[in-house]
Amino acid sequence: MTGDITSKLLKGKPLADSILAETAKGLQKLKERGIYPCLCTIEVGADPASRYYLENQRRTAEKVGLKYESRQLNENISREEMLGVIEEINRDPDIHGLIINLPLPKHLAVSEMQWSISSAKDVEGVTPHNMGAMFLGARGLKPCTALAITELIKSTGVDLKGKEVAVIGRSNIVGKPVSMLLLAENTTITICHSFTSRTGKLESHVARADIVVAALGVPGFVKGSWIKEGAIVIDAGINEEKGKMVGDVEFEAAAARASYITPVPGGVGSVTTALLMKNTVDAVYMQQPG
Ligand code: NDP
């Protein structure tokens, strides 16, 4: 292995800390005006895999001074009852941000539930209104993971204009929105997906990319040998392998070639959580008249 990995590590914590410090200041200003922002999560049933994520969310919210409320709903809740809970929260002036924790039981359609969230309280940026606003470059709440990836890349200080980006994954929550956000930074994007792999073309797209964003959810699928010398590698993947959390990129081999690489864990995730808090403060302003 060549190069010093430590100096290339693009850790999430410094950026997350600065976002949280700004958020805490924003919250303080709101409190001085008598507004006490509150973030609410709806959890249907109990998903053990979400526990760590939700606890982390709660801890981060409390650390910056944001109220955090968790609604635990029975896994047998009907579609109508669930829509009723969302509507009640949409109308509650004391709740400013709403997240529907996934997965949902099969009888509840994720898109129907998420799209019922008021766009002004949609702190994860998942509603068609906020997705559309991002697409159009208009004001709105942006999807947190996509924004976290974009902010991490910008934090390197590298001039992004005209850079070649390979985004691997085209989901609505990561791949598609991050492609739009990076397009807005004047990069040139190639969006890769499972058919890019099946037709044997993924390696060539990765090999010419100045920036690689891996968001496919397959441990170590992106080989280190594919990475161009000096590329920036952002690994959004969160996978469990042999009891360890690993990313989508073959870390050591990729780190040997990259100029910057995010670790898993310790990369994108903490910035995503910090941006969720920031989005809640932004949401308060969206809910203010005028
Ligand atoms: P999805 O499963 O919704 O989407 C995966 C995407 O990757 C699909 O577009 C799929 O293509 C593509 N894909 C799957 N296999 C391959 C392959 N072999 N080659 C090329 N493309 C492939 O996942 P998410 O977008 O929700 O999540 C992706 C990863 O990011 C996961 O590991 C997830 O845990 C993580 N994540 C991390 C977050 C964070 O804050 N750090 C937040 C959200 C997710 P196709 O469309 O053709 O099926």
Q: Residue 171 C-alpha to ligand 1 middle, in angstroms? A: 6
Q: Are residues 58 and 171 in the same domain?
A: no
Q: Are residues 189 and 262 in the same domain?
A: yes
pLDDT mean over 274-282: 98
Q: Are residues 120 and 160 in the same domain?
A: no
Task: Give the pLDDT of residue 68.
Answer: 98
With respect to residue 278, please indicate whether it lies within any of the assigned structural domains: no
Confidence (pTM) = 0.96
**pLDDT exceeds 90 at position 290:** no
Q: Are residues 151 and 252 in the same domain?
A: yes
Dihedral pair phi/psi, residue 218, rounded to 5°: -125, 115
Q: Residue 194 C-alpha to ligand 1 middle, in angstroms? A: 10
- C-alpha span between 110 and 126 (Å, rounded): 11
How many separate helices (H) and strands (E) can be counted in the chain?
12, 10
**pLDDT exceeds 90 at position 216:** yes
- C-alpha span between 16 and 158 (Å, rounded): 19
Q: Name the residue of 102, 238, 268 to mutate for ligand 1: max ligand atoms within 8 A of Cβ.
A: 238
Q: Are residues 245 and 166 in the same domain?
A: yes
Report the number of distinct structural domains present in the chain: 2
Q: Are residues 111 and 150 in the same domain?
A: no
With respect to residue 290, please indicate whether it lies within any of the assigned structural domains: no
pLDDT mean over 247-272: 97
**pLDDT exceeds 70 at position 2:** no
**pLDDT exceeds 80 at position 140:** yes
Q: Which residues, 6+ apart, have CB-to-CB distance to 192 below 8 Å? A: 166, 167, 168, 169, 170, 201, 202, 205, 206
Could you tell me the residue range of the domain that residue 44 belongs to?
A: 34-124
pLDDT mean over 183-195: 98
Which atom of ligand 1 is nearest to 267's Cα?
41
- State the CATH number of the domain containing residue 67: 3.40.50.10860
pLDDT mean over 253-277: 97
Task: Give the pLDDT of residue 274.
Answer: 98
Average model confidence (pLDDT) for the chain?
96
pLDDT mean over 261-287: 97
**pLDDT exceeds 80 at position 7:** no
92-96, 112-116, 238-242 — which is least confidently predicted?
A: 238-242
Q: Which of 90, 124, 158 is the C-terminal boundary of a domain? A: 124
Q: Are residues 119 and 151 in the same domain?
A: no
pLDDT mean over 20-49: 96
Neighbour tally for 87: CB within 10 Å: 13
DSSP β-bridge partners for residue 44: 73
- State the CATH number of the domain containing residue 180: 3.40.50.720
Q: Are residues 170 and 261 in the same domain?
A: yes
Q: Residue 38 C-alpha to ligand 1 middle, in angstroms? A: 30
With respect to residue 2, please indicate whether it lies within any of the assigned structural domains: no
Task: Give the pLDDT of residue 4.
Answer: 78
Q: Are residues 54 and 109 in the same domain?
A: yes
Q: Residue 260 C-alpha to ligand 1 middle, in angstroms? A: 21
Task: Give the pLDDT of residue 1.
Answer: 43
Q: What is the pLDDT of residues 81-90, one digit of tens each?
A: 999 999 999 9
**Cis peptide leading into residue 263 (ω within 30°):** no
Q: How confident is the model at residue 168 (pLDDT cuts 50, 70, 90)?
A: very high
Q: Are residues 111 and 163 in the same domain?
A: no
Give the binding-site residues of ligand 1, using a 6 Å CB cut-off. 145, 168-171, 173-175, 192-197, 202, 215-218, 221, 236-239, 268-269, 272
With respect to residue 192, please indicate whether it lies within any of the assigned structural domains: yes
The secondary structure element, H or E, covering residue 123 is none
Q: Residue 9 C-alpha to ligand 1 middle, in angstroms? A: 22
Task: Give the pLDDT of residue 50.
Answer: 86
With respect to residue 20, please indicate whether it lies within any of the assigned structural domains: no
Task: Give the pLDDT of residue 52.
Answer: 82
Q: Are residues 38 and 106 in the same domain?
A: yes
Q: How confident is the model at residue 19 (pLDDT cuts 50, 70, 90)?
A: very high
Q: Are residues 117 and 151 in the same domain?
A: no
Q: Name the residue of 114, 123, 194, 271 to mutate for ligand 1: max ligand atoms within 8 A of Cβ.
A: 194
Say if CB 153 and CB 141 are below 8 A apart.
Answer: no
Q: Residue 29 C-alpha to ligand 1 middle, in angstroms? A: 38
Instruction: Provide the percentage of residues in the chain whose pLDDT is more than 90.
Output: 93
